[in-house]
């Protein structure tokens, strides 16, 4: 047993941290936060040049051919830096869907473009309120065209292509759902940006009107593929959340050491110390659950569904906990636009929802644990 | 990153499994499996005797105190082999509980500070369970504030004469030896006037009185010392250096306790899987599922945190204060779990003992749980340790730090 990342993987993490500290300062994040750019194009280009976008994409499709463990350590740093780029949509969702279900031609078309930073991808799953479920997919697929509305679609306004979940039957079974690949630049879609909790990451509404689409994976296999994609993304997002938790905890710790009130560092008061200690506990539990998820993801283990749900829940809770208490430690200044605390608070709460809510994943975890026990 | 056994580890596992399969006291397996916090009992046997017999059997075959050096009764195993053993030992590991203090704390302190002849004399029978050890630190005047202890040791010829009182000593009533922290100089600040010894618990002047706990059981004791004589060669560390010696003990305590924290979650999940509520199976209930999921990820988080620590340990890194989180998380969690299990039982949850649901498993857990948040360092001390030693926040302002011990005011009992 060796329950840790390898030295090479840790080196990659350091490299990513160094790169992001330089290229993705809070000041750079604020350009997107303030609405002056839809995402940080320079950073996106840099990530491609570093090989980070294609780290888990096989070499034959233009990637680095490393693996998911390497992607996990980069994800952690993306979360720590609060990077304002469509990394999760493109790399965890679109690329993973292609890797799982894409034809050779589809992979050849899109994966090299993802790795080189030329194509931004996303997953169009949700249609208003509700969590991932076949019954919530109403967008219709018939005769090679799609009709319906997806909302919210993460990074939908800047995406070049989307993996779209669509309905091709009404039997009430999972096989009613199929996946399609849509080139969003080819017409047949109307894209509207939506205001959202975390302006450093866009959300959009996409209306499909007789939009041409090619199947991704076999007809009727959509839900099964989606489940796998969401599990993988849950682990990868968990690493972003772990990175964000650590950063929020550090910010709180640093402020508690720096700020003097009542003639003492506020970090010398137990009320503050204990709050920070509890944040450390959450962040540690999340990290450990995420490591297990990383192991399951990288080995494609039978434990992945359960491990992914546990990582998702634990990391979501930790990031929300650390981000909100970071503001609390900062007091009034934490509630200003000027201080960076709210950027993590926004990201934490947006991330808690984008793959389905916490209560959805709680439900999934129990289902999966029962299944394991029954087996 | 992997969970696979290396060929060497796989061989170790196979050997351990075969030996346990052939030698473990299987007649108690079911009862041990059903035991949980607050209720580890055997109906028709004395658990102390069963535990000692199992420990001796292990020692005779070289399976006791795996991580100890061979010359002191151990096996010289790696941290990972120790984990593999624990996995294979399963419910029989419950029988090691009475040795945790001796093996996890007293033994390592003896190894670090005792004379070689004493190590060779005292450690092997400690490893084999023939002799049981306890740890005498806490006092009525020094609970969380251990360094506030008042038990005096005064030099008289080649001996030290001990007078005072200890409290919360686990297992003192069946212990043969103990390590004892005393005050040798009350005129210097409190951390500087302490000295550590080990002693024979059968020495004249030692009196053990069980404490009746809030749970009704008696796992702990008060220990009184009246003119007890300890020879100077049983001193551990220098005179006045007892505080540093005790830190070695406590650091080992954390890694000992961190390894096997009990959260109550597996018991609750099993219970909810078969429990019927008014509206249907508990496990189908949205509110129940949400609670279970939250506790599930805490439990798995602790498990994998401990695996990360073991991986670090096997690479030669020292166990750090990070391990404090195990007790902190599990202590309050098991209390919440027990409370919730009773809530699910409705009014009948009030019934405890043999007539209760699952023979009172969760009722016993509830009543024992408050102790888990206090023993071995309160939740608040654990949070201080994390805040100060992991996060680097300032220590508490200590008004008594530089004051001679005999000038510090005191009141109340810890």
The continuous run of DSSP H or E covering B231 comes out as strand B220-231
Res. B370: pLDDT tops 90: yes
| Contacting residues of A for B380, CB less than 8 Å apart | 270, 274
Burial class (CB in 10 A: 0-12, 13-18, 19+), A134: middle
Mutate to test the interface with A, among B9, B301, B326 (most CBs of A within 10 A): B301
User: What pLDDT is recorded for position B256?
Assistant: 52
Do residues A211 and A149 touch, judged by C-beta distance below 8 A? no
Residue B43 in contact with partner chain A when CB distance is under 8 A? no
Work out how many CB contacts closer than 8 A connect A with B. Answer: 153
Do residues A238 and A289 touch, judged by C-beta distance below 8 A? yes
Q: How far apart are CA A72 and CA A53, in angstroms?
A: 12
Q: How many CB atoms lie within 10 A of CB A100?
A: 17
The reply to whether residue B297 touches residue A280, judged by beta carbons under 8 angstroms, is no
The reply to whether residue A277 touches residue B322, judged by beta carbons under 8 angstroms, is no
Q: Which of A110, A209, A122 has its CA nearest to residue A157? A: A122
- Give residue-wise pLDDT tens across range A280-306: 999 999 999 999 999 999 999 999 999
Band of the pLDDT at B253, cuts 50, 70, 90?
low
The reply to whether residue B294 touches residue A359, judged by beta carbons under 8 angstroms, is no
| HSE-CB of B367 using CA atoms within 13 angstroms | 18
Residue B286 in contact with partner chain A when CB distance is under 8 A? yes
Q: How far apart are CA A352 and CA A313, in angstroms?
A: 9
- Give residue-wise pLDDT tens across range B138-185: 999 878 888 999 999 999 999 999 999 999 999 999 999 999 999 999
Q: How far apart are CA B57 and CA B60, in angstroms?
A: 5
The reply to whether residue B391 touches residue A280, judged by beta carbons under 8 angstroms, is yes
Q: Which of B151, B22, B184 has its CA nearest to residue B88? A: B22
Q: What secondary structure does DSSP assign to A39-88, as a single string?
A: S-HHHHHHHHHHT-TTTTS-GGGTS----HHHHHHHHHHHHHHT--S-HI
Residue B80 in contact with partner chain A when CB distance is under 8 A? yes
The reply to whether residue A310 touches residue B302, judged by beta carbons under 8 angstroms, is no
Q: pLDDT higher for B37 or A332?
A: A332
Q: Cis omega before residue A7 (within 30°)? A: no
The reply to whether residue A288 touches residue B4, judged by beta carbons under 8 angstroms, is no
Residue A286 in contact with partner chain B when CB distance is under 8 A? yes
Q: From the CA atom positions of chain B, what is the Rg in Å?
A: 22
User: What pLDDT is recorded for position B395?
Assistant: 93
Res. B257: pLDDT tops 50: no
Nearest chain A CA: its distance from B387 CA (Å) = 5
Q: How far apart are CA B266 and CA B296, in angstroms?
A: 8
Res. B252: pLDDT tops 70: no
User: What pLDDT is recorded for position B377?
Assistant: 86
The reply to whether residue B293 touches residue A277, judged by beta carbons under 8 angstroms, is no
User: Cα B181 to chain center, whole Å?
Assistant: 18
| Contacting residues of A for B304, CB less than 8 Å apart | 3, 288-289, 291-292
The reply to whether residue A291 touches residue B1, judged by beta carbons under 8 angstroms, is yes
Nearest chain A CA: its distance from B305 CA (Å) = 5
Residue A7 in contact with partner chain B when CB distance is under 8 A? no
User: What pLDDT is recorded for position A17?
Assistant: 98
Residue A133 in contact with partner chain B when CB distance is under 8 A? no
Residue A268 in contact with partner chain B when CB distance is under 8 A? yes
Q: What's the whole-model pTM score?
A: 0.94
Task: Note if B71 is an active site residue.
Answer: no
| Contacting residues of B for A304, CB less than 8 Å apart | none
Please identify among residues 320-359 of chain A the ones whose CB lies closer than 8 Å to any CB of chain B: 359
User: What pLDDT is recorded for position B250?
Assistant: 76
Do residues A141 and A168 touch, judged by C-beta distance below 8 A? yes
Do residues B177 and B223 touch, judged by C-beta distance below 8 A? no
| Contacting residues of A for B301, CB less than 8 Å apart | 284-286, 288-289, 310, 314
Residue B18 in contact with partner chain A when CB distance is under 8 A? no
Q: How far apart are CA A173 and CA B305, in angstroms?
A: 40
> CA separation (Å) from A339 to A199, A251, B62?
16, 11, 61
How confident is chain A (375 residues) per 10-residue block, as mean pLDDT? 93 98 98 97 98 98 97 98 98 98 98 98 97 97 96 98 96 96 96 97 98 97 98 98 98 98 96 98 98 97 97 98 98 97 98 97 97 83
Average pLDDT of the residues of chain B: 92
Residue B261 in contact with partner chain A when CB distance is under 8 A? no
| Contacting residues of B for A4, CB less than 8 Å apart | 1, 308, 311-312
The reply to whether residue B2 touches residue A310, judged by beta carbons under 8 angstroms, is no
Res. B254: pLDDT tops 60: no
Handedness of CA B64, B68, B70, B76 (dihedral sign): positive
The reply to whether residue B394 touches residue A370, judged by beta carbons under 8 angstroms, is no
Q: How far apart are CA B301 and CA B200, in angstroms?
A: 41
- Give the range among A79-93, A342-356, B3-17, B30-44 with minimum mean pLDDT: B30-44
Work out the end-to-end distance of chain A between its first and last CA atoms, rounded to an integer number of angstroms.
Answer: 25
Please identify among residues 223-252 of chain A the ones whose CB lies closer than 8 Å to any CB of chain B: 249
Residue A304 in contact with partner chain B when CB distance is under 8 A? no
Please identify among residues 135-194 of chain A the ones whose CB lies closer than 8 Å to any CB of chain B: none
Q: Which of B81, B88, B89, B253 is catalytic?
A: B253
User: What pLDDT is recorded for position B197?
Assistant: 98
- Give residue-wise pLDDT tens across range B280-318: 999 999 999 999 999 999 999 999 998 888 888 778 777
The continuous run of DSSP H or E covering B329 comes out as helix B324-344
The reply to whether residue A285 touches residue B329, judged by beta carbons under 8 angstroms, is yes
User: What pLDDT is recorded for position B258?
Assistant: 47
Helices (H), chain A: 7-23, 26-33, 41-50, 68-81, 87, 95-101, 104-115, 222-258, 270-299, 304-330, 341-354, 358-374
Q: What secondary structure does DSSP assign to A205-218, as a single string?
A: EEEEEEEE-EEESS
| Contacting residues of A for B273, CB less than 8 Å apart | 370, 373
């Amino acid at each position: 047993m060796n329950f840790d990342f390898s030295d090479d993987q840790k080196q990659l993490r350091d490299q990513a941290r160094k790169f992001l500290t330089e290229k993705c300062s809070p000041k750079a994040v604020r350009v997107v936060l303030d609405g002056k750019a839809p995402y940080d194009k320079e950073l996106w280009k840099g990530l491609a040049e570093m090989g980070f976008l294609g780290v888990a994409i096989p070499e034959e499709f233009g990637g680095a051919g490393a693996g998911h463990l390497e992607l996990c350590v980069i994800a952690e740093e993306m979360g720590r830096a609060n990077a304002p780029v469509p990394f999760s949509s493109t790399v965890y969702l679109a690329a993973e869907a292609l890797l799982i279900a894409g034809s050779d031609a589809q992979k050849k078309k899109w994966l090299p473009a993802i790795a080189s930073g030329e194509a931004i991808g996303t997953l169009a799953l949700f249609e208003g309120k509700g969590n991932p479920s076949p019954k919530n997919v109403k967008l219709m697929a018939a005769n090679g065209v799609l009709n319906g509305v997806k909302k919210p679609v993460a990074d939908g306004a800047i995406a070049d292509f989307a993996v779209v979940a669509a309905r091709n039957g009404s039997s009430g079974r999972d096989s009613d759902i199929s996946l399609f690949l849509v080139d969003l630049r080819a017409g047949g879609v109307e894209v509207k940006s939506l205001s959202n909790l975390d302006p450093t990451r866009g959300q959009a509404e996409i209306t499909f009107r007789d939009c041409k689409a090619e199947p991704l994976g076999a007809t009727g296999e959509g839900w099964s593929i989606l489940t796998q994609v969401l599990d993988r993304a849950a682990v990868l997002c968990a690493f972003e959340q772990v990175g964000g938790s650590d950063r929020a905890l550090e910010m709180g710790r640093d402020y508690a050491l720096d700020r003097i009130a009542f003639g003492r560092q506020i970090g010398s008061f137990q009320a503050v110390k204990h709050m920070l200690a509890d944040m450390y506990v959450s962040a540690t539990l999340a990290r450990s659950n995420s490591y297990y998820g990383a192991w399951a993801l990288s080995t494609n283990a039978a434990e992945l569904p359960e491990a992914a749900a546990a990582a998702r829940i634990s990391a979501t809770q930790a990031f929300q906990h650390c981000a909100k208490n970071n503001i609390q430690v900062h007091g009034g200044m934490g509630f200003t636009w000027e201080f960076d605390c709210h950027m993590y608070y926004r990201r934490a709460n947006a991330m808690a929802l984008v793959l389905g809510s916490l209560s959805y994943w709680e439900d999934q975890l129990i289902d999966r644990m029962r299944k394991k026990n029954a087996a | 990153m992997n969970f696979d056994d290396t060929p060497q580890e796989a061989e170790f596992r196979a050997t351990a499994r075969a030996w346990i399969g052939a030698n473990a006291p299987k007649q108690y397996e079911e009862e041990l499996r059903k035991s949980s916090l607050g209720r580890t009992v055997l109906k028709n046997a004395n658990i102390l005797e069963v535990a000692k017999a199992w420990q001796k059997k292990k020692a005779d075959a070289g399976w006791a105190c795996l991580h100890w050096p061979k010359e002191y009764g151990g096996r010289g195993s790696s941290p990972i082999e120790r984990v593999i053993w624990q996995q294979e030992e399963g419910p029989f590991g419950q029988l090691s509980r009475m040795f945790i203090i001796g093996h996890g704390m007293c033994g390592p302190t003896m190894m670090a500070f005792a004379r070689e002849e004493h190590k060779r004399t005292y450690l092997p029978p400690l490893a084999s369970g023939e002799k049981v050890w306890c740890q005498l630190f806490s006092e009525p005047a020094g609970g969380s504030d251990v360094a506030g202890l008042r038990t005096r040791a005064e030099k008289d010829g080649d001996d030290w004469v001990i007078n005072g009182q200890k409290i919360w000593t686990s297992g003192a009533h069946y212990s043969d030896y103990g390590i004892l922290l005393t005050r040798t100089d009350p005129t210097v600040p409190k951390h500087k006037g302490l000295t550590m010894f080990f002693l024979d618990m059968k020495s004249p002047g030692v009196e053990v009185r069980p404490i009746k706990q809030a749970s009704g059981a008696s796992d702990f004791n008060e220990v009184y010392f009246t003119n007890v004589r300890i020879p100077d060669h049983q001193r551990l560390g220098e005179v006045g250096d007892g505080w540093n010696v005790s830190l070695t003990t406590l650091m080992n305590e954390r890694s000992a306790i961190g390894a096997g924290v009990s959260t109550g979650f597996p018991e609750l999940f099993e219970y909810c899987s078969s429990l019927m509520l008014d509206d249907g199976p508990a496990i189908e209930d949205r509110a129940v599922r949400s609670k279970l999921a939250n506790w599930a990820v805490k439990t798995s988080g602790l498990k994998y945190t401990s695996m990360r620590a073991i991986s670090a340990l096997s690479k030669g890194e020292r166990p750090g204060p990070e391990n404090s989180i195990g007790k902190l998380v599990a202590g309050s969690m098991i209390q919440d779990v027990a409370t919730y299990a009773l809530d699910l039982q409705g009014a009948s949850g009030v019934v405890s003992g043999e007539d209760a649901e699952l023979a009172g498993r969760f009722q016993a857990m509830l009543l024992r749980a408050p102790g888990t948040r206090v023993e071995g360092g309160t939740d608040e001390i654990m949070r201080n340790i994390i805040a100060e030693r992991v996060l680097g926040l300032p220590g508490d302002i200590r008004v008594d730090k530089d004051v001679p011990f005999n000038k510090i005011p005191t009141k109340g009992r810890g």
